Structure formats: structure tokens, C-alpha cells
């Protein structure tokens, strides 16, 4: 049985599981839509009070920006660091280790199946917000084509780094504080709260040298047409670099952690 067949089987299984938790999915989706909606209303209000714009963003461009942020964040986010300590503490990981495939593959399949279902709701929500807030959609074909690999790599940057971080649970079993610090950095430096172009230069630099910009802001900036061709190629290269760092981190932390692992409660 090849890897493709295993993934297809895993996707079917996780898709069936996701369908059993429809209410939870709706709650997650509400949590996904509300933050960008709040930021959009706040920045539109600021722009209107300041003569119609803030920096290079007018009210319509703010609408477009936060709608794209919502979609990108949905396609790129992962949740596995919130449950990894449970897997170790309760011994769930022991059963996963008996499978012929590394546990990371099951998490990738679960992530993809969840997004395949919930994107069917996110897209209509994005369309509705576009109409209500009069978003300015002026996306070139070139930027749309570049956006596809940028979006795929944004997911893997976030997935591998998040999975490596989750494995801190091998040493501490409770990693909520670590997770909150990680997501606090992401909130400020990924472009979720405000476009990076509106941040002070020092924070813009911090965002660029951290992985956060490449998880969300870069594909958003790309689709908006805010980047020159040279900047796009550099950004894609930086994403590849962070994926490589994430893969290495997963490899070495997994090896060290699995040697330490003892199945509590198994």
C-alpha cells in the first residue's frame, strides 16, 4: 500500500469523524470569522475618522485585506499543539506509535479533511463580507497564480513549526503557556491584527525575520498586489527556508522526545 492510498484512506476516515462533530465545527468557524471582522470594523472606523485612509489602505482595501486574512488563516492554521500534551499524558500516543506510518501523517490528513469541509462555509462568508463592506477586488492573474504555492507553503511553515513546538510536551506535559506565547507572537507579527505596513519599522523587521510573516501576511500581501516580482520570489524562498527549518525541528525533537516518552495512563 503506497503513501497516496494511505492518505486517501485516512482522509475518508477523518472526514467521517469531522462530520460527527458539526456543532464543534460551527463554533470553530464563528471563532475564525469574528476576529478579522472586529479588526476590519476598527480599522475602517479609524480610516473614516482620518479622512478615508490609514497609510496606503482605504476603507475598501481594509475590507479586502481582512477578508483575505480570514481565508488564509483558515487554510493555514493548525491546532495540534493544543492536544499533544493530552496524547502524552493519557498514553494516546502509544496507540499511534503502533501504526505503520509516522503520526504526523494522520495529523496532516485530519487537518486537510477539516478544511475541505469548512472551506465550503468560509467562502460564502468571505463573499458576504465582500458585499457588506464593499471590498476592492483587483487581483491580477499573476498574483493569483503565485498565491497558490505561497498559500500551500504558508500551511506547511505553520504545520511543521507548530508540530515541533507541540512536542515540548515530551518534557513538560503541560504546554498551554508555551502555546499562548507562540500565538501572541503570531497575533502581532503575522498581520492578523493589523497590516504589517502600518506597524513601526522595528516590528516590521521582527516580523520578517520571524516565521510569522510567512504564515499569513506574505500570501495576503502577494494576493493584494503589494509586492514586486523580486519580493515575491524572495518571499517564496524564505518560505522554503522555514519549511526546511520546521522539518529539521520535527525530525530532531521527535527523536529526542520519543526516547524520553513514557506512556502515562497506558
> pLDDT, tens digit, for every residue of 180-219?
899 999 999 999 999 999 999 999 999 999 999 999 999 9
Most confident of 72-76, 163-167, 216-220: 216-220
pTM reported for the whole predicted model: 0.88
Question: In terms of pLDDT, which residue wins out, 150 or 88?
Answer: 150
Q: What's phi and psi for 53, nearest 5 deg?
A: -155, 160
Residue 12: the pLDDT is 72
Question: In terms of pLDDT, which residue wins out, 147 or 95?
Answer: 147
Q: At what angle do helices 141-166 and 103-133 cross, to 10 degrees?
A: 130
As a whole number, mean pLDDT of residues 105-126 equals 83
Cell of 233: 520570489
3 state DSSP class of 57 = strand
d(CA 35, CA 129): 13
**Residue 18, pLDDT above cutoff 50:** yes
Alpha carbon 3 to chain centroid, angstroms: 24
Residue 87: the pLDDT is 84
Amino acid at each position: 500500500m503506497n503513501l497516496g492510498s494511505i492518505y486517501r484512506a485516512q482522509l475518508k476516515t477523518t472526514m467521517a469523524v469531522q462530520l460527527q462533530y458539526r456543532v464543534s465545527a460551527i463554533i470553530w468557524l464563528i471563532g475564525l470569522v469574528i476576529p478579522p471582522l472586529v479588526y476590519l470594523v476598527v480599522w475602517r472606523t479609524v480610516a473614516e475618522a482620518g479622512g478615508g485612509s490609514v497609510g496606503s489602505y482605504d476603507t475598501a482595501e481594509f475590507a479586502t485585506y481582512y477578508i483575505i486574512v480570514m481565508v488564509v488563516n483558515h487554510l493555514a492554521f493548525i491546532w495540534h499543539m493544543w492536544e499533544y500534551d493530552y496524547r502524552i499524558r493519557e498514553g494516546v500516543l502509544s496507540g499511534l506509535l503502533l501504526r505503520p506510518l509516522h503520526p504526523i501523517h494522520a495529523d496532516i490528513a485530519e487537518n486537510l479533511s477539516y478544511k475541505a469541509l469548512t472551506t465550503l462555509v468560509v467562502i460564502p462568508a468571505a463573499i458576504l463580507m465582500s458585499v457588506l463592506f464593499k471590498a476592492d477586488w483587483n487581483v491580477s492573474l499573476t498574483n493569483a497564480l503565485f498565491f497558490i504555492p505561497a498559500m500551500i507553503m504558508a500551511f506547511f511553515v505553520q504545520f511543521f513549526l507548530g508540530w515541533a513546538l507541540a512536542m515540548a510536551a515530551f518534557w513538560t506535559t503541560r504546554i498551554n503557556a508555551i502555546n499562548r506565547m507562540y500565538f501572541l507572537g503570531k497575533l502581532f507579527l503575522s498581520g492578523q491584527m493589523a497590516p504589517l505596513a502600518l506597524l513601526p519599522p522595528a516590528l516590521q523587521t521582527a516580523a520578517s525575520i520571524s516565521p510569522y510573516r510567512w504564515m499569513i501576511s506574505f500570501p495576503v500581501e502577494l494576493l493584494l498586489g503589494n509586492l514586486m516580482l523580486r519580493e515575491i520570489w524572495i518571499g517564496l524562498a524564505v518560505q522554503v527556508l522555514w519549511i526546511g527549518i520546521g522539518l529539521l525541528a520535527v525530525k530532531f525533537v521527535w527523536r529526542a522526545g520519543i526516547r524520553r516518552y513514557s506512556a502515562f495512563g497506558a
